[in-house]
Amino acid sequence: MSTDADSQRAEEQVVEDVLSGLSGAPADLVCVFVSHHYGAALENLGPRLFKELGARALIGSSGVSIIGGAREIEQGPALSVWAGHMPRTDLRPFSSRLEMNAEGTGHFTGAPDVRDPARASVLLFADPYSFAADEYLATLDDRHPGVPVVGGMSSGGMGPGQNLLITERGLSSDGAVGVVLEGEVEVQSVVSQGCRPVGKPWVVTACDQNVVRTLASRPATEILFETLEGLSKEDRALFQNQPFVGLAIDPAKSSFERSDFLVRGIVGLEPKNKSFAVGDTLRRGQTLQFLVRDAQSASEDLLQLIRGRNQRAARTSNPADASGALLFSCNGRGTSMFEKPDHDITCVRSVLSEHLPIAGFFANGEFGPVGRRNFLHGFTASLALFSARKA
């Protein structure tokens, strides 16, 4: 990563560092993350880097803050370029847009070319103003169940048309860009939603779309206020300020870990019907857990999930250490949430390795799987870990 204010010097620095780090190995996949400070020089940044590094595929995004090495640059110019040598792995770039017809309904153009779902993963970056990422992820789940999608919504712009997606062809300010990785390089994901449970889990016994009617056959708001009254003063203040629930993804599970819940906000109360609404569709029989979020919870969640991934890898017959990582943090994290700068990147490096090559950006929404389905998240740190696929 370079923080040089001169675009040409910044580009020269990152190219030199990447080529040195690869020690002669081809730069098969190149990911580029850049702030808007470099202005017109961004127009052909992708094609230049693609040529200078001899890449097979290149994608990237603008970011309000840029991650690289051991730093999260929240103010000022920054260019972060990450490259991986990926032998015996197919790389298939793609782009997609949401096109509307005269009736006001839309359809997506372009789709990832997944041929072997058991050996495939997807990196995806999208524009938050022109692309319905949550619907797109649901479509991909239906077509390619179990294929992880990791990435984020571009950021740094002040409105429509100002966020930038980067490819070897140049810039785009709408739609989505991505690449399918399929072969011997595996992408594992860690999705830290930054919450901790309060109270006990409840079973949804009646619901309507996103409205919870009853929990354990009791009016939903009775359970909500009962839980609130049982919290400590500190947790009660957190919950009243930002109330969250976790929705269990796997209906077959009866005991749960942090990674088993999809975090969504409570978006409204219906006092007359003793119901409350959440930011996602529910199903009867689903387990619901009330949650709170603060800086300490977010730190603990990220560290525990990475450690849990390491422990699971150590139990396999052929564990593979991560060779590199991409990190996509919500633009509401950083020093907006934590007292010290460089929080998320420091957590990742402290558990995995201080020498692990990492890049990324602060996103307008983060992509990553919970269970076997992919979702658009908020206030999340979504991590893609690259390693040799286990035999």
99 closest CA partner among 169, 174, 149, 166:
174
Q: What is the mean pLDDT of residues 340-367?
A: 96
Six-digit token string for 222? 């009775």
* Domains along the sequence of the chain with CATH: 7-193+298-388 (no CATH), 196-292 (2.40.30)
The whole-number pLDDT of residue 190 equals 95
The whole-number pLDDT of residue 320 equals 62
Length of the chain: 391
178 closest CA partner among 120, 99, 129:
120
Distance between CA atoms of 8 and 140, rounded to whole angstroms?
38
Count CB-CB contacts under 10 A for residue 278: 21
Distance between CA atoms of 376 and 368, rounded to whole angstroms?
7
Predicted TM-score of the model (pTM): 0.93
Six-digit token string for 116? 């072997």
Distance between CA atoms of 10 and 37, rounded to whole angstroms?
12
Six-digit token string for 275? 């119901």
Q: What is the pLDDT of residues 99-125, one digit of tens each?
A: 887 777 788 998 999 999 999 999 999
Q: What is the pLDDT of residues 176-221, one digit of tens each?
A: 999 999 999 999 999 999 999 999 999 999 999 999 999 999 999 9
Per the DSSP assignment, residues forming a β-bridge with 375 are 368
Q: How far is CA 69 from CA 82, 125, 193, 242, in A?
A: 10, 21, 23, 32
The percentage of the chain sitting over the pLDDT mark of 90, rounded to a whole number, equals 89
- Do 345 and 72 touch, CB atoms closer than 8 A? yes
